[in-house]
Amino acid sequence: MWHVRVVLSAMVVWVVGSGRSPGQDEPAPPPRPRVLTPNTEVMTPQAIDQDYNRQLLALERQRLERLAKAAAKQPPKQAAATYEHLFRIAIANNLFGDAEPIADQVLRSPGASPNVRFLAHTIDLIATADRGAYDESLSTLRSIVGESKDAARPASASLDSALLLVLCEAYYQRLVHANQLEVARRAFAILAKESVSPAVKDYCTGQLRQLELVGKPAPAFQGADLDGKPASLAGFKGKVVLLDFWASWCVPSVEELAWLEQVYEANAPRGFQIVGVNLDTAAEGATKESVAPNVMRFVLDHNVRWPVLLNGKGDADLAKAFGIKEIPANILIGRDGKVIHLDLTRSNLADVIARACAP
């Protein structure tokens, strides 16, 4: 089963209601949330969306502060539930830095439940990586693992796999996007060995397989693109090649096309080539013949200008060869045919490719 990389977020819903009959004295209405309006007369939909997201994050930060104040005044059992709720909100909204002071306070306080301590540790772990203290984050990971070993029942065994995988993915992204591949190898080797969750073990083992590709010759591939033209790694010798793994049903795959196009346009004259690898064939019962018309239509509708291969089976299974389990994903291969980087995103794609294409 293929997984889609997504960014989790929380939604804020304001509900106003009254059960009073007409004529009864009405209490003063609650204050309405303050809405910040930018000082511009005309705004684009993108600017409006960005402003909305900023305000939504501000509300989420306020919610974290209020939950922390409430938990500090509650009895232990109730406080544990409040802190766990708080940390889950922080994780869902990528507010690790905002929640870090609260996590540190919990870790300094005696009597916190194992689940709450584990979540506080992981908040601290990822916030540390966000500050660029990658070696320190690895030390924090070792402390978490050590504490789990000493416990009769590891806290992670009580938490749902979906949450644990979100935490693993968040940490992985920080390390890989910062090119901290050796730290990532060490960290995910620890997690693959020590985790009690089969889902986490499987995820970490897969990420390790990908990390081991870096610096080594890329697995060779050959086939034909949607137009029937031959396409192989050997055929792109001397070029910097980005293998882009995607599917037509994957919304993030569609969203990334615009910035891939920009980078392609800027670097193609310097020997940069994108090769798409479509994974529509991974659906149950799908074949290359059955998905080819839909993929071709998608490529034409979105004006994709680079060759696209349909992932196959056996020796033609490029996703398996490159350890791809989540999409969208990409692998960057240098002019010498060795893997340079993994999972480039909009934040680092242009810079990494510009350096790879430099004379």
Please state, in angstroms and rounded to a whole number, the distance separating the CA atoms of residues 118 and 145: 10
Domain boundary among 149, 181, 211: 211
Q: Which of the four pLDDT bands, split at 50, 70 and 90, describes residue 348?
A: confident
Q: What is the pTM of this model?
A: 0.77
The reply to whether 184 and 63 lie within a common domain is yes
The reply to whether 168 and 234 lie within a common domain is no
What is the pLDDT at residue 2?
54
Does residue 28 lie within any of the structural domains?
no
The reply to whether 187 and 259 lie within a common domain is no
Please state, in angstroms and rounded to a whole number, the distance separating the CA atoms of residues 288 and 279: 10
Share of the chain above pLDDT 90, in %: 58
Q: Which of the four pLDDT bands, split at 50, 70 and 90, describes residue 13?
A: very low
The reply to whether 153 and 234 lie within a common domain is no
Please state, in angstroms and rounded to a whole number, the distance separating the CA atoms of residues 235 and 221: 10
Summarize the confidence of residues 39-65 as an average pLDDT. 85
The reply to whether 207 and 233 lie within a common domain is no
The reply to whether 135 and 104 lie within a common domain is yes
The reply to whether 58 and 206 lie within a common domain is yes
What is the pLDDT at residue 24?
42
The reply to whether 195 and 227 lie within a common domain is no
CATH number where 154 lies:
1.25.40
The reply to whether 194 and 58 lie within a common domain is yes
Does residue 32 lie within any of the structural domains?
no
Does residue 64 lie within any of the structural domains?
yes
Closest C-alpha among 174, 352, 347 to residue 259: 347
Long-range contacts made by residues 185-188, C-beta under 8 angstroms, separation at least 24? 185/211, 185/212, 186/138, 187/137, 187/138, 187/141
Q: Which residues of 46-59 are buried (b: 16+ CB within 10 A; e: fewer)?
A: eeeeebeeebebee
Helix boundaries (H) for 132-256: 134-150, 161-177, 181-194, 198-211, 251-255
The reply to whether 191 and 238 lie within a common domain is no
262-276 pLDDT, tens digit per residue, is: 999 999 999 999 999
Domain boundary among 192, 211, 230: 211
Size of the chain, expressed as the number of residues it contains: 359
State the Cα torsion 347-181-325-335 to the nearest 10°: 80
Does residue 88 lie within any of the structural domains?
yes
What is the domain extent for residue 352? Answer: 222-357
What is the pLDDT at residue 305?
92
The kind and range of the H/E element at 349 are helix 349-357
The total number of structural domains that make up the chain: 2
Contact 57, 93 (CB under 8 A): yes
Q: Which of the four pLDDT bands, split at 50, 70 and 90, describes residue 37?
A: low
Does residue 34 lie within any of the structural domains?
no
What is the pLDDT at residue 31?
52
Q: Which positions ≥6 away from 173 have C-beta within 8 Å?
A: 343, 345
Helix boundaries (H) for 216-337: 251-255, 257-267, 288-301, 318-321
What is the pLDDT at residue 39?
54
CATH number where 248 lies:
3.40.30.10
Please state, in angstroms and rounded to a whole number, the distance separating the CA atoms of residues 207 and 29: 53
